[in-house]
Amino acid sequence: MSVAHFSIFSRPTASEVLTAYLAQCNEPPWTSYFVKYSSVKDDQFGMSNFNWKVGKSNYQILRTGCFPYIKYHCSKKKAEDLNYSDKFMRVIKVANLGIPCLMYGLAATMLIRHTEIVHTSKGPVTIYFLLPEHKGSIY
């Protein structure tokens, strides 16, 4: 099976890719990556700012759809109530008709310079980065 092509029934969820990547990198202080919509089932649709537990760590996740990708920014932090922030970001996206998100995704297709493979229960998934990250770096 090709890394880039999954049947609709064999794609992992976006949350599985998120968890697998953070675990695969030994729970880094932060990371920021893109994953193609076509590579995952989007089980986190509508979630913009939320806590995510992986191993012994909590991550505050900033997530947005930016076609043809989903963008994740993950920071290892203590869990906080992010409901207000999540709702506020959702309102901003709707008010802007998603146009900035679409433009970000289109720009990313030209700016991505690095890829990595995430191993999931449904097979490997390619994730994308603007630049290679220094694993474990706090910045």
Range of the domain at 33: 14-129
Within a domain: 94: yes
Query: What confidence tens digit (pLDDT) does each residue in 93-133 have?
Result: 999 988 999 999 999 999 999 999 999 999 999 999 999 88
How far is residue 47's CA from residue 60's CA, in Å, rounded to a whole number?
12
Query: What confidence tens digit (pLDDT) does each residue in 44-80 have?
Result: 999 999 999 999 999 999 999 999 999 999 999 999 9
Within a domain: 1: no
Within a domain: 36: yes
**Residue 68: predicted pLDDT:** 96
How far is residue 104's CA from residue 109's CA, in Å, rounded to a whole number?
9
**Residue 10: predicted pLDDT:** 87
SS3 of residue 17 by DSSP: helix
| Residue 3 scores a pLDDT above 90 | no
Q: Could you give the number of structural domains in the chain?
A: 1
How far is residue 49's CA from residue 67's CA, in Å, rounded to a whole number?
18
Give the predicted TM-score (pTM) of the model.
0.89
Within a domain: 135: no
Within a domain: 74: yes
> Distance from first CA to last CA of the chain, Å, rounded?
36
Within a domain: 28: yes
Under a CB-based contact definition with an 8 Å cutoff, are residues 129 and 112 in contact? yes
Query: What confidence tens digit (pLDDT) does each residue in 6-54 have?
Result: 455 689 999 999 999 999 999 999 999 999 999 999 999 999 999 999 9
Under a CB-based contact definition with an 8 Å cutoff, are residues 23 and 76 in contact? no
On the CB side of 111, CA atoms within 13 Å amount to 12
